Amino acid sequence: MSRIGRLRSEFGVAWRSFLRRRTAVFFTFLFPTILVVIFGALVRTDPGSGGLFAESPAYYVPGYLAVVVLFTPLSRMSSEVARHREGNRFEKLATTPLRRWEWLAAHVAVNVAIVSLATALILGLVVALTGAPLGDLWTLPLFVVPGIVAFCGVGTILGRVTDSRDGAVAASNTIGLPLLFLSNTFVTPSQLPGWFQPIVNLSPLTYFARGARDAMYGGGHPWIDLGVLVAFAVVAFVVGAVAIPETD
Amino acid sequence: MCPVLVADGVRKTYGDTVALDDVSLTISEGEVLALVGPNGAGKTTLLRSLTGTVTPDDGMIQVLGEDPASVRRDRLGVLPQAFSPPDRLTARELLHYYAGLYDDARDPDALLDSIGVADSGSTRYEHLSGGQQRRVCLGSALVNDPRVLLLDEPTTGIDPAGRRTVREQIASLADGGATILVTTHDMDEAERIADRVALLADGRIRATGTPSSLIDEHGGPPRVIVEVEDEVSSDDRAHVDSAATAIRERGFDCTTTGDGRVVVTDVRPEAIESIVAGLSAVDVSYEGLEWRRPELEDAYLEIAGEHVSADAVLSPDSARPADGRGGDGS
């Protein structure tokens, strides 16, 4: 009961804090919407052309989802950790029964809630604007949740190593943008140089996008990708929890 | 009474900087100890060592008979320095939040009332005044009804009414058996709050004792400060020197300062009349004359090896003659 109570208390404060930052709420949902509108409705796919967006609309669905699975936890957690550090909140929490991993777990849960809402929005827009099929939708949470856990962990680490909120946001953007476009999301592996492929395989987002695509639409080895993604998520969560400072 | 907080030979360094050097301190159950010192003296490092958030390089720390890292967290209440909780939550929500981290906590609404912010319970933290914010922060340290309370500069930025609330809360908790460590650089605050004071400078405990014992032992004699002029020109300087000479002629030791003040040392209240008479005899007018007993600040400066300056000992609310030119000493 006590651990559940602590998690509920931390979740409640994090959720309310998010909802009351109206610009954060607005842009959290606007960013993926803009991407779907630009790539899905304005640029449009051109199957067989050999250029960018040469795959069928369904190919890009995991890419749109990757936007929120990557950026929402990464930027939110890095700035949240920085905000906590600036206010000496971790020092306070370190003297309460709340454990560091419980704090991180509560914030993961908040991100799951936010990304779930954003995912529903994206899927609705994708269907409406591109006509892409949704495939085996039930498999999606299996990839979305560990993806969020992984990038919450990475975001927490970024919040620890940067020394301000501005620095945390800049660092998350610097890491996030290359990952977003080079992780088998919007650019197919065949469009990248062969020597670059190992780098693609180092990105955890690759295992989310490729795994979710294969699980939803068939093909490949989605469960191997899921295993790698879960392993990365566990490591990132543990390292992230340990990285939370007790004093600044 | 049994010791609740114990530091023995604690040393902590950050690179080449020695934050704590052979610090030993014991605080008994129900005692309020004020840890006093200027910024950078090592107060926060010692407090963090006691909460277990900083690990000393050397020495031993015990809280309630255990290593700080092993103490049940629900027995501690901590207010970190410059603490700022989530600012989009209301005062009531914040206390409910911190209460929710403990199995057994005080009623947040009753706590809001006791810290004097019941009327602002529905106001977001970001919209509270500085004093109200600090009260809510204090409430977050009290919400679990702690046996050991560690407060890092709890009255910084707080208004007089808020200071009184903090003092009342501390006294009430101490009466209930809580052991309390308060850090401050406000000597007056320490004197009001604490049963005992520990003076910390350059990472070392220089003295501990009750405020009155420290003042008696280290505060020096009482003194009179004569404020001859506000603006000191070369002509006015002559008045200051005349005043000092007249006072010396009546058997007192005194020094002059560059801003038109004469500091007379070792003056009993009954001797003030003689000083006034001496000033009248040489027709020196003065704007203020204050008799001042030594305070904890004087003891601190003496112990820390710094010299007492007229600026340091002249309080801003020094008594002044009502007419502003008290040439007759009234």
Domain boundaries, chain A: 2-39+57-243
**pLDDT, mean of residues B99-121:** 94
pLDDT at B4: 94
Is the model's pLDDT at B32 over the cut of 90?
Answer: yes
Return the pLDDT at B40. 85
Q: Worst-scoring range by mean pLDDT, A173-182, B178-187, B223-232?
A: B223-232
ipTM: 0.90
Residue B260 lies in a domain: yes
Could you tell me if residue B320 is inside a domain?
Answer: no
Both B76 and B200 in one domain: the answer is: yes
- Report yes or no: B69 at the A interface, CB cutoff 8 Å: no
In a domain, B184, yes or no: yes
In a domain, B330, yes or no: no
Whether the per-residue pLDDT at A65 is higher than 50: the answer is yes
Distance, first Cα to last Cα, chain A: 31
Tell me: do B172 and B302 sit in the same domain. Answer: no
Instruction: Say whether B78 sits in a helix, a strand or coil.
Output: strand
d(Cα A168, Cα A157) in Å, to the nearest integer? 10
Higher pLDDT: A42 or A111? It is: A111
* Residue at B198 is within a domain: yes
End residue of a domain, out of B181, B209, B237: B209
Q: Which residues of B touch A8 (CB under 8 A)?
A: 100
What pTM was computed for the model?
Answer: 0.84
Co-location of B136 and B201 in the same domain: yes
Same domain, B203 and B281: no
Q: Kindly write down the DSSP assignment for every residue of A65-130, as one continuous string.
A: HHHHHHHHHHHHHHHHHHHHHHTTHHHHHTTSS--HHHHHHHHHHHHHHHHHHHHHHHHHHHHHHH
Would the pLDDT of A90 be above 70?
yes
In this prediction, residue B217 carries a pLDDT of 87
**A202 pLDDT higher than 80:** yes
Q: Do B42 and B115 lie in a common domain? A: yes
Among A43-52, B226-235, B295-304, name the one with the lowest average pLDDT: B226-235
For residue A124, the distance in angstroms to the closest alpha carbon of chain B comes to 31
Residue to test with chain B: of A92, A98, A248, most B Cβ within 10 A: A92
The secondary structure of residue A248, as a DSSP letter, is: -
Q: Are residues B48 and B175 in the same domain?
A: yes
Give residue A221's pLDDT.
92
What pLDDT band is residue A49 in, cutting at 50, 70 and 90? low
What's the CATH code of the domain at B99?
A: 3.40.50.300
B78 in reach of chain A (CB within 8 A): yes
B201 & B96 share domain: yes
In a domain, B31, yes or no: yes
**Cβ contacts (< 8 Å) between A246 and chain B: which residues?**
53
Asked whether residue B162 is domain-assigned, the answer is: yes
pLDDT at position B234: 58
- Kindly state whether residues B244 and B205 are assigned to the same domain: no
The parent domain of residue B91 ranges over 3-209
Residue A97 has its nearest CB partner, among B73, B85, B88, at B73
Tokens for B58, please give them. Answer: 């050397």
Give strand pairing partners of B148: B76, B179
pLDDT band at residue B91 under the 50/70/90 scheme: very high
The answer to whether the CB of B30 falls within 8 A of the CB of B174 is yes
What's B214-263 look like in SS3? HHHHHCCCCEEEEECCCCCCHHHHHHHHHHHHHHHHCCCEEEECCCCEEE
How many structural domains is chain B composed of? Answer: 2
Task: Determine whether the interchain pair A88/B97 forms a contact, defined as Cβ–Cβ distance below 8 Å.
Answer: no
How far is B85 from A76, CA to CA, in rounded Å? 17
Q: With an 8 Å Cβ cutoff, are B51 and A95 in contact?
A: yes
The pLDDT, as a whole number, for residue A98 is 96
Are residues B241 and B147 part of one domain? no
Looking at the domain assignment, is residue B82 inside a domain?
yes
Query: Which has the closest alpha carbon to A70: A97, A45, A46, A35?
Result: A35
Q: Are residues B112 and B87 both part of a single domain?
A: yes
What percentage of chain A carries pLDDT values higher than 90?
67
Could you give the percent of chain B with pLDDT greater than 90?
47
pLDDT (average), residues B275-290 = 87
**What would the mean pLDDT of A228-238 be, rounded to a whole number?**
98
* Top-confidence residue, B84 or B282: B84
pLDDT score for B236: 60
